[in-house]
Structure 1
Amino acid sequence: MSGEAAPALGVLRRREFRLLFSAQAVSVLGDRMVAVALAFAVLEIGGSVADVGLVLAAGTFPLVATVLVGGVVADRVSRRAVMVAADLVRVASQGAMAALLIAGVAEVWMLALLAAVAGAATGFFGPASTGLLPEVVLAEQLQPANALRASAVSAGEILGPILAGVLVAAAGAGWAIAVDAVTFAVSAACLLALRVTPRAREQQSAFAVDLRAGWDAFRSRRWVWTFVAYFSLVNLLWGAWGTLGPIVAEQDLGGAAAWGAILTAMGVGALAGSLLAARVRPSRPLLLAAFTDSLFALPLAFLAATSSVPLIACGAFLAGAGMALTISIWESTLQRHIPGESLSRVSSYDWFGSLAFYPLGLAIWGPIAAAIGVGTSLWLSFGMAAAMTLALLSVPDIRRLPVAPPVAGEATP
């Protein structure tokens, strides 16, 4: 096992990857705190179930709206500079949100507006981050590097909800969001210290031409748009977890501390999945990814079926493991198969497609639950998620894509 672990740890010897890894690790810690704190911040100021969905959706709609622009920008200019600028915007938005909550003057519309600003910045950050990784590691280090980045996300999943639960219970949601603002500042500092060789620039094209070229690269690969379509519809269903989970926790499970414990279990599972991702090299990566991602539906069923926190946490653990492994495999597959000069644009279409329906999911599950009940809504989302997995597995390209790009002269799926 030590021989298998060596490549994963070896990538940490690269200074630039350590800085990129550190930036993501500290930023994700703050993000996972906000995953708990923002929903309870809305409830703290007297917001309703629908208001929780509104504020969470407000952070995602601008992300979807800006991500395609962010992909083009990241392929045209320094990806590091794009990420630093996005971090600084989020320092300002999260700092303002924290100040309003701590001062006791926050209203739902203010939280929604500031969440929208942070979401727009993330729309630029995401595609740049995906495109930057192949610039700081060797091609053979992509899977271990993505696995270690997923480990950083997993550590944030574990520690973030714990810290947020404690802070929300002891001092209020504003202090958890204040810590998030600090983490973006630390992330920006790490990225500023990053040294990346400037990319060779092709002749500058019109913005619309670059956007269309990215679309052509995206749609010409059937395995890409098929999996992204799956992500898009599944994220519509996953909105039930983010919107209804805190409500179930508040009403039946004991409040923020219980919900924090459940999200922590998901983080522990994600850590296990990301550690496994550093070692696996499936010959058919997307086939494995489809199976592992299907585990995300389990906690939806458990949340609907029981008020047992340990059982729900067990489902969350398995979902976290499956999603972390899926993300590592998916990003490594994109980075291996997509040319570097268009990687951020293809990644932006991935982000756009994957998230297109998520804000709608955040917005609709509150009203759906009000109409048919929280439990029925959760069962509905679970059943539809299972059907989507079966549909994905029926696509031949998903089952057949190899781990490495075909050699010259071979057909690409």
Structure 2
Amino acid sequence: MRVANSQGPLSSAKFRWFFAARSASLFGGNAAPIALAFAVLEASHHNSDLGLVLAARSLALVLLVLFGGVLSDRYPRDKVVLVGHLGAAITQGIAAAILVTGNFDLVAILATEALNGALTALTGPGVYGMIGQVAPEGQVKQANALLGSTRQVATILGPSLGGLLVVTAGGGWALAVDAGCYLVAAFCLARLHLPQVDSERRPGVFAELREGYEEFRKHTWIWAVVVGFAVLVFVQAGAWGVIGPVIAERSFGAQGWGVVLGAEAAGFLVGSLLLYRLQVVRLMRLGQLCLVATPLPLIPMALGAGLGWLLAASFVAGVAFSVFGVAWDTSMQEHVPAEKLSRVASFDALGSWIAMPLGQVVALPLADLVGFSRYLWVGAALWCAMAAWPLLLPAVRHLEHGARDAETVGPETATAAR
């Protein structure tokens, strides 16, 4: 390891506008989930409705994310993301109005969350692909670490604000804040004018999808990690996204759950700051090793331990998840051609999210059937195993930070990279 160059990505005006847009959308986006979860639990009086609402958004993500990748490789990414943010402001504004006025309707909330998920699916790959376009040359890892740090500051403040608003004013106001943040982000994105990444030849949508899949498939280290994530996210979506708020409602409440999410986010922040300054040659290997520690918070949940133990475990898991996240994003942006990056990212998202709706829907029925503690123990074991198995592959262990991998380039270029 060595300390990185002191020059930072904020020296670029393009990156500063992108950074401001991401900061705004992340702040509101992190206040919304806790508000929505507890607003649904309070208004519907059926815990299973929370799983349905979360699954509606996740299902839309899964169904449309591949087309989001094509959209963001076909058109200027800043315009695609701008339109998506304006749409998200509208959908969250409608959901906020439903909850603030006390006219809770499960079908209407399902519809707004599905629309919100669809917009995220269609624009998320574009956000991912923009980082390499706005970061100064040679500063991609630092840009990812800085964005990761900001994401975690937002994740610390957002859930705390969301929990406070649930307790004092009601969850609808947190969704209204989210809608306003999307509008601020859209204003910042309007100041960017990025070129279309791709060139002259434009095949059909399905041909572009096939081209993106071939690029995804040729990188063993990418698809191996994504296969593990399909199971990992199934567990995480149910155990953390559904069971967590239910346990909190029965014990330390919405504000306490916001503090737990804040502790995890503080760990994210620490991990991002560490990687901002350090250069690691085997970045993916380090990230994957850290991922093995991320199911740690399920242990105090399974044991029924006090809030303090859960806070400590969440902080450690946050550090570990942050290191993996920066390693993954940086490796993707370094080893995948820029003109195909959004499509490869969309296949990554599809593989990672495909089991998320099922995990959210079946979590409570399974936990009721086998017991919350047993469900969490088995989930932690599966999560850990799926994080560890890619380390068996040389393509994951030996991938070098800053070098093109031999699966992507010809023998001469690969030799030169070494």
What is the TM-score normalised by the length of structure 2?
A: 0.94
Shift of 1:391: 1.8
- C-alpha change, 1:329 and 1:390, in structure 2 (3 Å) is closer
Shift of 1:269: 0.6
Q: Would you say the 8 A contact 2:284–2:328 is kept in 1? A: yes
What residue is the counterpart of 1:375 in the other structure? 373
Q: Would you say the 8 A contact 2:264–2:318 is kept in 1? A: yes
Structure 1, unaligned stretches of length 5 or more? none
What residue is the counterpart of 1:267 in the other structure? 265
What residue is the counterpart of 1:250 in the other structure? 249
What residue is the counterpart of 2:129 in the other structure? 131
Aligned pairs for 1:112-131 (under 5 A) are 112-131=110-129
CA distance in 1: counterparts of 2:280 and 2:229, whole angstroms: 20
Aligned pairs for 1:9-408 (under 5 A) are 10-199=8-197, 201-239=199-237, 240-252=239-251, 254-403=252-401, 404-406=403-405, 408=410
Q: Would you say the 8 A contact 1:306–1:312 is kept in 2? A: no
Q: Which SS does the other structure have where 1:295 is aligned?
A: coil
Corresponding letter in the other structure for 2:243: L
Q: Which SS does the other structure have where 1:203 is aligned?
A: coil
Stretch deviating more after TM superposition (157-166 or 384-393): 384-393
CA distance in 2: counterparts of 1:343 and 1:399, whole angstroms: 22
Shift of 1:400: 1.3
Shift of 1:354: 1.1
What are the superposed Cα offsets for residues 58-116 of structure 1, whole Å, 9 maximum, x if unpaired? Answer: 11110111110010011111111110111011111100000000001112222111111
- C-alpha change, 1:208 and 1:288, in structure 2 (3 Å) is same
Shift of 1:281: 2.3
Q: Would you say the 8 A contact 2:73–2:197 is kept in 1? A: no
Q: Would you say the 8 A contact 2:32–2:178 is kept in 1? A: yes
Corresponding letter in the other structure for 1:43: L
What are the superposed Cα offsets for residues 228-270 of structure 1, whole Å, 9 maximum, x if unpaired? Answer: 1112211011011110001111112x21011011011011111
Q: Would you say the 8 A contact 2:76–2:195 is kept in 1? A: no
What residue is the counterpart of 2:6 in the other structure? 6
CA distance in 2: counterparts of 1:312 and 1:361, whole angstroms: 22
Shift of 1:284: 1.4
- C-alpha change, 1:139 and 1:357, in structure 2 (3 Å) is farther
Q: Which SS does the other structure have where 2:294 is aligned?
A: helix
Q: Would you say the 8 A contact 2:215–2:344 is kept in 1? A: yes
Corresponding letter in the other structure for 1:91: A
CA distance in 2: counterparts of 1:217 and 1:43, whole angstroms: 42
Shift of 1:131: 1.0
What are the superposed Cα offsets for residues 267-321 of structure 1, whole Å, 9 maximum, x if unpaired? Answer: 1111101111212322212211111112210001111113411110111111111
CA distance in 2: counterparts of 1:378 and 1:141, whole angstroms: 40
CA distance in 1: counterparts of 2:196 and 2:370, whole angstroms: 55
CA distance in 1: counterparts of 2:241 and 2:227, whole angstroms: 20
Q: Would you say the 8 A contact 1:233–1:357 is kept in 2? A: yes
Corresponding letter in the other structure for 1:131: G
Q: Would you say the 8 A contact 2:197–2:338 is kept in 1? A: no
Give the length in aligned residue pairs.
409
Corresponding letter in the other structure for 1:218: F
CA distance in 1: counterparts of 2:312 and 2:234, whole angstroms: 23
- Give the share of equivalent positions with the same residue, in percent: 36
Q: Which SS does the other structure have where 2:293 is aligned?
A: helix
Structure 2, unaligned stretches of length 5 or more? none
CA distance in 2: counterparts of 1:280 and 1:52, whole angstroms: 41
CA distance in 1: counterparts of 2:81 and 2:122, whole angstroms: 7
CA distance in 1: counterparts of 2:278 and 2:286, whole angstroms: 10
Corresponding letter in the other structure for 1:248: I
Q: Would you say the 8 A contact 2:17–2:188 is kept in 1? A: yes
